[in-house]
């Protein structure tokens, strides 16, 4: 019976990692669509939102079954309970990357979109932080938790720099104010995604503290 339980628990970890890769790919594709003005790629990200929601439901169902049927010991119960919170954050990340894609679909359409260096940097750190947060959880890696928290500060600083850059462009009277506001919204979504990644990591640090 314990062997079956261990297999199910390992399957849960695999699914969490798979969903982590899926949502980070969604963020990457959204930002790539922005840089390349690829509306079809942005539409694909938006359409894939339903798959992310389905993954979230499947993993949540597995968690419930593990708790109801296997009666896990305290340490495993904490892992599964935190996993249920984690997939909620991951689902939000997936939906917010789809929201970014939706903004891009409306933005592109042949318009000139200004380049914001700090926005590119922000998206790179955000993608890494989401993956690291998921890996820190499935591998119980305290060092990765610290890295996620440190990088979250970098995301916040990038967001502040993006805001400053956009404000300066707006004040200069550039004739693309609506697009600049859209870019600000995209940066805000990235900032929220970074927050979710940090919460995933903090959830692990809480579990580790209890174990100790």
pLDDT of residue 212: 44
Q: Per-residue pLDDT averaged across 87-94, rounded?
A: 94
pLDDT-derived band of residue 27, with 50, 70 and 90 as boundaries? Answer: very high
pLDDT of residue 155: 97
Which residues span the domain enclosing 57? 2-211
Q: Per-residue pLDDT averaged across 83-100, rounded?
A: 93
The residue among 196, 19, 184, 18 whose CA lies nearest residue 93 is 196
More confident residue, 9 or 93: 93
Q: Per-residue pLDDT averaged across 188-212, rounded?
A: 77
More confident residue, 212 or 112: 112
pLDDT-derived band of residue 159, with 50, 70 and 90 as boundaries? Answer: very high
Total tally of structural domains belonging to the chain: 1
Which residue, chain included where needed, has tokens 């940066």?
Answer: 187
pLDDT of residue 152: 95
Percentage of the chain modeled with pLDDT above 90: 51
pLDDT of residue 208: 47
Residue 169 near residue 158, CB atoms below 8 Å:
no
Whether pLDDT at 205 is above 70: no
Whether pLDDT at 11 is above 50: yes
Residue 27 near residue 8, CB atoms below 8 Å:
no
pLDDT of residue 110: 56
Token pair listed for 138: 């499935």
- All residues at 6 or more sequence positions from 179 whose CB lies less than 8 Å from its CB, including other chains: 107, 111, 112, 113, 114
| CATH code, domain carrying 64 | 1.20.58.220
């Amino acid at each position: 019976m314990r062997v079956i339980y261990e297999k199910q628990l390992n399957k849960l970890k695999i699914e969490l990692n798979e969903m982590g890769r899926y949502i980070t790919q969604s963020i990457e594709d959204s930002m790539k669509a922005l840089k390349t003005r690829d509306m079809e790629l942005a539409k694909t990200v938006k359409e894939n939102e339903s798959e992310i929601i389905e993954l979230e439901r499947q993993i949540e169902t597995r968690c419930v079954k593990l708790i109801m049927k296997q009666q896990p010991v305290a340490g495993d119960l904490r892992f599964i309970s935190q996993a249920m919170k984690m997939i909620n954050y991951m689902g939000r990340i997936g939906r917010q990357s789809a929201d970014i894609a939706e903004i891009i679909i409306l933005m592109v359409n042949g318009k000139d979109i200004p380049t914001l260096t700090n926005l590119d940097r922000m998206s790179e750190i955000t993608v890494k932080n989401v993956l690291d947060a998921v890996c820190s959880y499935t591998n119980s890696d305290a060092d990765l938790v610290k890295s996620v928290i440190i990088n979250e500060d970098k995301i916040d600083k990038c967001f502040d720099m993006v805001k400053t850059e956009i404000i300066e462009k707006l004040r200069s009277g550039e004739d693309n104010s609506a697009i600049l506001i859209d870019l600000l919204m995209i940066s805000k979504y990235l900032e929220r995604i970074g927050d979710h990644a940090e919460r995933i990591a903090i959830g692990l640090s809480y579990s580790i503290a209890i174990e100790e």
